Structure 1
Amino acid sequence: MKIDLSGKTAIVTGSTSGIGQAIARGLAAAGAAVVVNGRGKERVEAAAAAVAKAAGSADVRGVAADVATAEGCDALVAAVPQADILVNNAGIFEPKDFFAISDDDWRRFFEVNVLSGVRLSRAYLKGMLARNWGRVVFVSSESALNIPAEMIHYGTSKTAQLAVARGLAKLTSGTAVTVNAILPGPTRSEGVEEFLAAMAAGSGQSVDEAAASFVREHRPTSLLQRFTSVDEVANMAVYVCSREASATNGAALRVEGGIIDSIG
């Protein structure tokens, strides 16, 4: 299968590093014009240059905008009024005891993880429907179905993403527009590497040993028995964005190594 996204414009939020940057690289390599997004201008420009170099594509640009805010979403839409592909990847996570999670923490997680995708889907989905082609992808998490006790606020926000994605998919009925979610498991992105490094420092382990310990202790049902790579997650996202994925709509697609113990 050769995925060709020539002539399509793709926005990937939170794509200066990690899963988002890997998705941006994959979409650019498939021929899409890619918009890299993050909060800081210098970091966004550097990431866009890195994506273009890795993908061998000159059609990559960066737009600095904080999509955790309504103003930031408006700024992104003003800079890129139309898109064929929207990957709602911007997100945060934070292990925290439930009793220490404040109301402000809950609001912050919903602003970043949920409302960013809601606002941008509201801005771009209507145009996709009018043109009768488009892809919206929410980067959720296996934590949406397997709520982690150590970060309930994160898991809840990821569950909300699945509800939004399924509801939006119903608006595309009978069209060539699709809305899906992907569910990565523990993935060795830059942010997770920092988390693992802190774990390793506290336990006297190497980072690789800390990663293996985390999977054994916190995700014991994993069939993969390791963290996924950002590229493994990106491969699924790029496929879902492709023309070839035309019959996949309203789905929550797992790329989590079999952590979720279910055949459904």
Structure 2
Amino acid sequence: MIWIIPLIFGIATSFRSQTEVVSTGFRLLPVNWVIENYAAVLSDTSTAPILRWIWNSIFISTTHTFLVLVVISVTAYGYSRMKFKGRDVLFFTLLGISFFPNVVNLIPSYKIIDTLGWVNTPWAMIVPGLAGMGNIFLVRQFMKGIPKDLDESARIDGASDFKIYYKIILPMIKPVLIVCALFSFTGSWNDFLWPVIVYTDVEKMPVTAGLLLLQDVYGNYSMIGQLMGSALLAVIPTMLLFFFAQKYFVQSLDLSSGIKG
């Protein structure tokens, strides 16, 4: 429970007056609770448009997550249900390559984004990482728990691979897709280094790049309350997401939870 103390202190600091932040030492809770920090942050729409940044992050993370689910579910279906030469070799080769740290790919990734003209656009964050091998591996393992007799029965009835994927497999892998969606959404939302590199336009920044900019705007010690208020506003969407979807984490641990009876 020690971890909760900094969280409480951070929330309390966002409700301290600038005078109290400067004049008092360490106090877990403020003497006087004020909302002027939040009012100042929300009213600043020029140098630090926090609501605009949050909306940018919601659009980027939601679009990225939707496309991730499409890509990884189709790819995992191919690796787990379809037979083609070199399938397993290709899968484990790509899985091994994915273990390299992402920082290795920063320069070539930026070159590609710049060539495509995606710098300072949402596509710079939406497209990279759509085919993450970690998510594909998780969905593939989940699919392996679904009996292939279902596929064979559907083929006898004349179903195509797409119909088997869409009508049979997709409804059964809902729990693991929800977990992958949570990972993808929070990963995109919390990504810091990449958006700092590909965004220079203040209006188009996601919230993580914007918070770095706020360190210059609210960087002096007396403005810590406003900086903390901005940070707390930025984490509200992900906290709500985990609160409403936490039950699916437990379901995803059972690789056969898509099978009933």
- Tell me the TM-score range normalised by the shorter chain: under 0.3
User: Which structure's CA Rg is the greater one?
Assistant: 2
- Bigger share in helix: 2
TM-score by length of 2: 0.26
TM-score normalised to structure 1 length? 0.26
